[in-house]
Amino acid sequence: MLTRRSFMALSAASLVAGAVPALAHPLATFGGGAFGSYWRLSVPGTVDQDAIAKSFSRIIAEVDQLFSPYRADSVLSQFNRHDGTDWQVVPDAFSALVAQSLALAQACGGVFDPTVGPAVARQGFGPIRGVAGSFEELAAQPGATRKHRGGLTLDLCGIAKGEALGRMAATLAQLGVTDYLLDLGGEIIAHGHHPEGRGWQVGVEMPGGIGVAHVLRLDSRTVATSGNSLQGYALGGKAYGHIVNPATGRAADATLASVSVLGPDPALADGWATALAAAGLEAGVALAEQLSLDALFLVRGSDGLKSVFIGNFADVVEI
């Protein structure tokens, strides 16, 4: 399983009950397994489902081989086992995502940090062991990565699923599929139109999956959600989640149920959702405002659940 994160955006088609309208082009929905979760594609009309499924299976296998911390033979695991500080030759796709992760870490002041794996493991989540570090101790160039100190490790779970989603969307474009809603374990990208002629709609779940907080319109963008509702535990009367603030090495703010980020780049939407969730409510909202991100924060309070919209996120909310 590649990811330890909780993704809570779901296809509105599976959430809204009622009569099904007659469609000029019937909606086909099919899918398969991915990273211990699933992928699901909805398209109007007829497509070559076998060709799409085979392409997606290849992408999922490639991303898993590159970035999975659960596979001893993955490129990431081999990098983590290497104790030297010399440049390691890696596939270009690996070094490119490392470079993107380091740029994101720099932009957010380190609340997203690809060296966070050991801290996550200490909270009881994830398999990565190593020393505490900082993204500033890693480097990447085309075809190579390095660590500046032995024992440092990489953890790309907060961005790798977005990388896979982007590759899957690119494959659909190559196959000539222009109208679709693609859901990869709750991280969703849409393109074109629903058979009814409208934009695609998705729902963002309330904590615990007890209902839908908001229904959104996706216009050729990705929505990525990060939260602790589905992956956490209680101990001594306190709640602990898998999202860790790298600055403290501890679980992020428990009052923040989830953060959803809209954006054109699936990997960046994935990474920013991780960063804002790790930062916590106050710092996360300030960061989203500072960087003009489109984000939705679902906040637990004594009077129930509160929604905080940043940027243009509210413009896509249907209810």
- What domains lie within the chain, and their CATH numbers? 68-158 (1.10.3980.10)
Percent of the chain with pLDDT over 90: 68
| E strand segments, the chain | 9-11, 27-34, 37-44, 88-89, 138-141, 144-147, 180-184, 187-191, 200-205, 212-218, 222-227, 232-235, 238-241, 244-245, 250-251, 256-263, 294-301, 304-310
Q: Is the pLDDT of residue 250 over 80?
A: no
Listed range (9-13, 87-91, 112-116) with the worst mean pLDDT: 9-13
With cut-offs at 50, 70 and 90, classify the pLDDT of residue 241: low
